[in-house]
Structure 1
Amino acid sequence: MASTAFVKQLEGYGLTTAHILYRLPDHPGILQTYVWQDYDLAPDFPELKGFLDFWERELEGPLHSVRVSHERLIKPAEFKAVDGMLTLH
């Protein structure tokens, strides 16, 4: 049986990485980094939005900024049609 990550990739999901900066609750002048990575659908990013909603609802460190990168790992094959024939003796 195929892994769930592979099945998601076949359904169009790509690897999404979010670099999250947030403020420490006790020291709001200090920024801390958190890196989140999962398979998600661009451009809506429902998985990431769900995680950020959870963060704002359950965690004390307020978000400062989120930088997102996304790449589909399984893509249509690229090929080039060649017009011609090469004969080797």
Structure 2
Amino acid sequence: MTDRALIAQLGGYGLTTAEIHYYRPDAPSLLQLFVWQEYDLAPDFPVLFDFLDFWGREIKAALHSVRIAHDQLIRPAVWRAVDGIIPLQ
């Protein structure tokens, strides 16, 4: 993990993965998949939407769909009680 990634996570950012399906410019009947990952803030996703704005301006491929997954990697630990006894000899 880089320092930038740790600082982003401490600032509330989580890892965002986007599956971007787009039509190929040379063969418009075919769909291509591009996977994008970056640290971003849910639920607004400003970094992802900046990338999608860049895509719309600079890349000739038309978007079909975008599927987003997000996870906060740094969060409070979860403890749960376990019933049972483990015998030690």
TM range (shorter): 0.7 to 0.9
Could you tell me which residue of structure 2 aligns to residue 72 of structure 1?
Answer: 72
Structure with max Cα Rg: 1
Number of equivalent positions:
80
Q: Structure 1, residues 9-60: CA drift from partner, whole Å, max 9, x if none?
A: 0111000000000001121100000000000000000000000000000000
Q: In percent, how many aligned pairs have the same letter?
A: 59
Normalised by the size of structure 2, how large is the TM-score? 0.84
Matched AA of 2:57: R
Q: What SS class does the counterpart of residue 75 from structure 2 fall into?
A: coil
Aligned structure 1 segments of 4 or more residues deviating by more than 2 angstroms: 77-81
- CA distance in structure 1 between the partners assigned to 2:78 and 2:11 by the alignment: 19
Whole-angstrom distance in 1 between the partners of 2:77 and 2:29 = 48
Structural RMSD (CA):
1.4
**TM-score normalised over the length of structure 1:** 0.84
Can you give the 5+ residue segments of structure 1 that lack an aligned partner in the other structure? 82-89
The residue that corresponds to 2:58 in the other structure is: 58
